[in-house]
């Protein structure tokens, strides 16, 4: 039983002893106190029942408090209009800490009903390198997948590569105009980017080039052997480059079903959409229109142009016979629900695609997939120090790899200045770890909907709400065990908490499970990131207030256990953020 369950039982017993009949016992709720200054748990049942009993809520709360048998567990006080506040005693906290220390998964509770969740994230466009905008999707998606798996959901991570879109017409066109085979071998992503830019620049200036690019795409989609061969090589080369980046980020996928994998399904899908009355012709193209079931303002199939509501269909087939991004996404929903039995589909994609996903989710429901839950896990923009979307000096979106390299360089400066490590190789490895972790932590510590400023020096600093601060906290918690060198067997039999700082640390540790679950309430990794920072601060306060190695007997053992437990929770929590820990820094 959890503490709140025990307290609930106690309240129920007390009510019975006062002969208060309770029509519905589920109305007794003991929740964690929102503000730790007012105790650890609270219950509002006195206020709920007072009126029907004809009593003053505060008086009734006092009466109830007198009947509660919780002496060993906590102190009870009355607050506000009649809240019962429970403040756990040190011994009760010690029991919790011991249980958490002995628990293999650090007392993280599993969900009651696990769901099958498909997480669609990263999904870069092949033949263009991943840019800084893909950082957010990749890192948030990986974190949410890990958290969902941690609490027992069945998670399927799918990289829905953009490997079939208009960019291939362009790359193929430029490839035929002159591909640099040597560079393709050495720096495939860079060469593919060059081809893409060549075609993109040329088609901006010249309508015939634009036509030729489009024609190359149509040829590819119709199965032309030469274009297909070029495409296959592009995908393979990109895949290699992507694998390197994902390895560096420690990001993995269960599937790589890209847009091209749904190609065969598109024509029959559109036929079915038409014959079942979901889609119809519009200016030579085929689109899905409003169902008319909601007001125009909330209807994703309407736009307001010059004060007038007009149709804004979801296009599923172009005039030239090609299919759209949306068509592939509908086919993908069908596959994920029918083949993978997805209960939930999460799309970790930039907020700019919000309109597309509203339409997609609406269409999916119309097609009968209303059992599944669809979520657009949206996010904002990364800004430069000037407050505008992050750009390189040349005005392009920075490439993810360059961003990581810059972060590692900044981390190297900090490591050179502050690290106690001796060897250059060790320092280099640490700088890589800190640099990449800093990029991740900065991402995950911000609310996903807010834009944030990408400030390298700030994010690799040892002080502040940063990854290095957390990594250092972990190293500090472990360092004490190195000094002991083997003489240590912790029994955990007698855990005692004497100092305030110890109790506070244990309180923070005990919140771990809740914090993880809360991340999933609104898909917010920043709740876990913030929690870990608070935990680290609680640890440092404890460490400064309470001598560990110089303490004796049970006190010493208890404090060693707190160090050990803190390091385990930090390591585990950081792993959910996809951040590995070093043993020394």
Q: Interface residues with ligand ARG (CB under 6 A)?
A: 120, 123-125, 160, 162, 329, 332, 347, 349
* 476, 583 contact by CB (below 8 A): no
CA distances from 39 to 6, 78, 87, 227 (A): 16, 11, 4, 68
The least distance separating ligand ARG from the CB of residue 131, rounded to whole angstroms, comes to: 9
- Nearer to ligand ARG by C-beta: 141 or 582? 141
- Nearer to ligand ARG by C-beta: 349 or 533? 349
C-alpha–C-alpha distance, residues 358 and 291, integer Å = 13
- Nearer to ligand ARG by C-beta: 160 or 446? 160
Instruction: Give the SS3 label for residue 278.
Output: coil
Which tokens in the block code for residue 68?
């509660």
- Nearer to ligand ARG by C-beta: 390 or 505? 390
CA distances from 42 to 7, 22, 47, 62, 72 (A): 9, 19, 12, 14, 17
Q: What is the DSSP letter of 29?
A: -
C-alpha–C-alpha distance, residues 522 and 56, integer Å = 38
- Nearer to ligand ARG by C-beta: 41 or 346? 346
The least distance separating ligand ARG from the CB of residue 120, rounded to whole angstroms, comes to: 5
At a CB cut-off of 8 Å and minimum separation 6, what does 277 contact? none
- Nearer to ligand ARG by C-beta: 337 or 565? 337
The least distance separating ligand ARG from the CB of residue 361, rounded to whole angstroms, comes to: 12
The least distance separating ligand ARG from the CB of residue 356, rounded to whole angstroms, comes to: 7
Sign for the CA dihedral angle at 534, 535, 536, 540 comes to: positive
The least distance separating ligand ARG from the CB of residue 204, rounded to whole angstroms, comes to: 20
The least distance separating ligand ARG from the CB of residue 193, rounded to whole angstroms, comes to: 15
* 418, 582 contact by CB (below 8 A): no
C-alpha–C-alpha distance, residues 418 and 584, integer Å = 12
C-alpha–C-alpha distance, residues 29 and 11, integer Å = 9
C-alpha–C-alpha distance, residues 468 and 407, integer Å = 12
Instruction: List residues bridging with 345 in a β-sheet.
Output: 118, 374
The least distance separating ligand ARG from the CB of residue 435, rounded to whole angstroms, comes to: 24
How many beta carbons lie within 10 A of that of residue 267, not counting itself?
Answer: 13
The least distance separating ligand ARG from the CB of residue 236, rounded to whole angstroms, comes to: 18
- Nearer to ligand ARG by C-beta: 160 or 210? 160
The least distance separating ligand ARG from the CB of residue 168, rounded to whole angstroms, comes to: 13
Output the residue with the shortest Cβ distance to ligand ARG.
162
- Nearer to ligand ARG by C-beta: 335 or 452? 335
- Nearer to ligand ARG by C-beta: 101 or 164? 164
């Amino acid at each position: 039983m959890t503490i709140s369950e025990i307290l609930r039982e106690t309240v129920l017993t007390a009510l019975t002893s006062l002969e208060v009949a309770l029509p519905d016992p589920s109305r007794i709720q003991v929740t964690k106190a929102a503000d730790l200054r007012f105790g650890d748990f609270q219950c509002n049942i006195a206020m709920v029942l007072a009126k029907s009993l004809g009593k003053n809520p505060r008086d009734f709360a006092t009466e109830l408090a007198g009947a509660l048998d919780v002496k060993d567990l906590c102190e009870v006080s009355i607050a506000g209009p009649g809240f019962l506040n429970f403040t756990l005693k040190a011994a009760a906290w010690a029991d919790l800490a011991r249980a958490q220390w002995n628990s293999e998964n650090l007392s993280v509770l599993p969900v009651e009903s696990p769901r099958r969740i498909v997480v669609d994230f990263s999904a870069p466009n092949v033949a263009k390198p991943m840019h800084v905008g893909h950082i957010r999707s990749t890192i948030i998606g990986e974190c949410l997948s890990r958290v969902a798996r941690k609490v027992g959901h069945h998670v399927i991570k799918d990289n829905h590569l953009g490997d079939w879109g208009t960019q291939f017409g362009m790359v193929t066109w430029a490839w035929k105009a002159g591909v640099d085979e040597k560079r393709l071998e050495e720096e495939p992503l860079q060469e593919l980017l060059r081809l893409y830019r060549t075609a993109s620049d040329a088609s901006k200036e010249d309508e015939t080039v634009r036509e030729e690019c489009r024609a190359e795409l149509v040829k590819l989609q119709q199965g032309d052997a030469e274009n297909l061969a070029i495409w296959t090589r592009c995908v393979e080369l990109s895949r290699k480059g992507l694998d390197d980046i994902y390895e560096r980020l420690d990001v993995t996928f269960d599937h790589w079903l890209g847009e091209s994998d749904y190609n065969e399904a598109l024509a029959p899908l559109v036929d079915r959409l038409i014959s079942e009355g979901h889609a119809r012709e519009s200016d030579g193209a085929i689109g899905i229109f409003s169902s008319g079931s909601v007001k125009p303002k909330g209807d994703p199939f309407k736009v307001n142009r010059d004060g007038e509501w007009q149709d804004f269909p979801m296009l599923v087939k172009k005039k030239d016979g090609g299919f759209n991004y949306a068509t592939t996404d509908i086919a993908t929903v069908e596959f994920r629900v029918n083949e993978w039995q997805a209960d939930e589909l999460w799309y970790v994609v930039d907020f700019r695609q919000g309109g597309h996903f509203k339409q997609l989710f609406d269409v999916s429901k119309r097609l009968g997939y209303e059992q599944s839950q669809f979520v657009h896990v949206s996010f904002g923009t990364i800004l430069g120090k000037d407050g505008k979307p992050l750009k390189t000096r040349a005005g392009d979106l920075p490439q993810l790899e360059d961003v990581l390299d810059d972060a590692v360089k900044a981390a190297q400066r900090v490591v050179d200045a502050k690290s106690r490590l001796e060897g250059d190789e060790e320092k280099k490895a640490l700088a890589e770890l800190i640099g990449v972790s800093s990029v991740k932590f900065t991402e995950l510590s911000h609310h996903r909907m807010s834009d944030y400023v990408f400030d390298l020096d700030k994010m690799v600093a040892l002080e502040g709400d940063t990854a290095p601060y957390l990594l250092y906290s972990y190293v500090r918690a472990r360092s004490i065990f190195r000094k002991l060198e083997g003489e240590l067997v912790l029994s955990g039999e007698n855990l005692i908490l004497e100092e305030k700082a110890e109790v506070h640390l244990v309180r923070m540790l005990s919140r771990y499970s809740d914090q993880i679950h809360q991340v999933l309430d609104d898909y917010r990794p920043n709740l876990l990131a913030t929690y870990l920072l608070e935990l680290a601060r609680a640890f440092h306060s404890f460490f400064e207030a309470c001598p560990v190695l110089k303490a004796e007997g049970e006190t010493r053992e208890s404090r060693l256990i707190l160090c050990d437990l803190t390091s385990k929770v930090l390591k585990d929590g950081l792993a959910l953020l996809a951040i590995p820990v070093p043993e020394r820094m």
